[in-house]
Amino acid sequence: MVGMTSACIMVLGMAGIGAGTAVADTVIDTIPVGDFPSGVAVNPFGFRAYVANSDDDSVSVIDTVTNTVVDTVTVGDSPRAVAVSPDGSRAYVSEADADTVSVIETVGNTVSVTIPVGDFPTGVAVSPDGSRVYVAELFDDSVSVIETVGNTVVDTIPLGAAPTGVAVSPDGSRVYVANNVGDTVSVIDAGTSTELTTIAVGNSPRGVAVTPDGSRVYVTNRLDDTVSVIDTDTNTVVDTVTVGDRPVRVAVSPFGSRVYVTNLLDDSVSVIETAGNTVGEIVPVGDSPIGVAIAPFGSRAYVTNSDGDTVSVIAVERCSGSLCIATASLAGGGSTGSGGTGSLVGGGSLGGAGSAGSAGS
C-alpha cells in the first residue's frame, strides 16, 4: 500500500484457521509529568490529555502526537480529578484541599473561573450535553451540580458516606456515585437531582464507569480487590471480577468491549473482557497507578503513576472478527484515531474517553 511505513497488521485468524486473538496491550511510552499525578482525561478529539498533579497544584497538558507535556496549568490546592467537556473547550478540575473546581479554557490553557463547592471534592464528571458538571464531595457526603453556562452550583445532592467516584450515563439521565465508606453506589436521577436508590457493592468502592450503551456500570472495590458489575435495568450487581491489589480507578473502552482497572499496589492495569467479565490480561505500568483514560476509538490508554510522577501510554491491540491489528505506524506518525505515536494517519475522533468521569484517589 503506497505511503504506508512500518505497518504492523497481523492476520491471526482467517477462514479455516479460527478466530483471531489480540496481541497483548503494551506500554509504548512513559511521560514525565508533575508531582503525584492522579486523575487523567483525554479530549474528544484525542489530541490532548490532561493530568491532575495533586502535590504540585497543577495540570499537565500532554500532546498525544508527540507524547510530551506542552503546557502546565497552575490550579487550586490538591487537584484530584479532571473531566473534559464534550466539545473539548473546557477541562474541569476538582481541588480537594481548596474545596473548589477550576475551569480551564483549553484554547490557551488558562483558568477562567474557580467555583466553590463542598468539602474535599474528589471525582468529577461532565454530562453528555455539557450543561452540567457533577462533583463528588468526600467529607460532605454529597454531590454538587454545576451549571456550566454560569459556572455556578445549582444543586447539592445528599448521598451516602464518603462519595468519591462519579460517572454519568450516555443519555445523561442517570449519575452513578461510589460511596467509599458506605460500600454502595448511589443512583441519581439527573432530571430531578434526587437519589433514586443505592446499590450494595464491595468493600471501599472508589472508581465508577458506565459502558457506552448504558447497560452496565463497573465499580472498583479497593479493599476487596474486585470490580462489581451493575445491571442498570435492575440496579443490581450481576457479576464480581477479581482484579489486582488495591484497584482504584476504572475506564471503559469506547466500544464497550474492555474495561481498564488500575491496581495501586500491583503497579499494573487489569484488562477485563466485558463479554464474559473475565480478566484477559494484566499490563505492567509505573509506580502506584491511579488514574486511567482511554483515547477515542480505543487505540491508547493513559495511566497516571502517582509515585513515579509519570504517565504510561498503553497501545491497545484490537481484533475485529478474524482480523487482528496491532496498532503500530501507518502513513507516518500519529496514533490510531488519537494522534499519538505510531498509528493510522493521526486523525481525531468523535467520542471523548476519560471525560465522562474520574474518581477521587
Range of the domain at 223: 9-70+174-325
Across 43-151, the runs of DSSP E, i.e. the strands, are: 48-53, 58-63, 68-74, 79-84, 90-95, 100-105, 110-116, 121-126, 132-137, 142-147
Would 16 be classed as within a structural domain?
yes
- The whole-number pLDDT of residue 160 equals 84
Distance spanning both ends of the chain, measured CA to CA: 46
- The whole-number pLDDT of residue 236 equals 98
Q: In total, how many domains does the chain have?
A: 1
Cell of 147: 451549571
- The whole-number pLDDT of residue 21 equals 40
Q: Where are the alpha helices (DSSP H) in 28-170?
A: none
Compute the distance between CA of residue 16 and CA of residue 311 in angstroms, rounded to an integer: 41
**Strand pairing category for 152-158 and 163-168:** unpaired
Q: What is the pLDDT of residues 117-156, one digit of tens each?
A: 999 999 999 999 999 999 999 999 999 999 999 999 999 9
Compute the distance between CA of residue 111 and CA of residue 164 in angstroms, rounded to an integer: 24
Phi and psi at residue 343, in whole multiples of 5°?
-175, -155
Would 236 be classed as within a structural domain?
yes
Residue 97 Cα distances to 8, 76, 79, 94, angstroms: 47, 8, 8, 9
Compute the distance between CA of residue 261 and CA of residue 309 in angstroms, rounded to an integer: 19
- The whole-number pLDDT of residue 297 equals 84
Would 134 be classed as within a structural domain?
no
The parts of the chain modelled with pLDDT lower than 50 are 1-22, 320-358
Cβ-proximal residues to 154 (8 Å cutoff; 6+ apart), any chain: 145, 146, 147
Would 244 be classed as within a structural domain?
yes
- The whole-number pLDDT of residue 130 equals 98
CATH code of 220's domain: 2.130.10.10
Would 269 be classed as within a structural domain?
yes
Would 266 be classed as within a structural domain?
yes
Would 126 be classed as within a structural domain?
no
Q: Which amino acid is at 330?
A: L
Cβ-proximal residues to 361 (8 Å cutoff; 6+ apart), any chain: 38, 39, 54, 80, 122, 206, 248, 290, 291, 306
Would 60 be classed as within a structural domain?
yes
- The whole-number pLDDT of residue 7 equals 33
Q: What is the pLDDT of residues 160-218, one digit of tens each?
A: 899 999 999 999 999 999 999 989 999 999 999 999 999 999 999 999 999 999 999 99
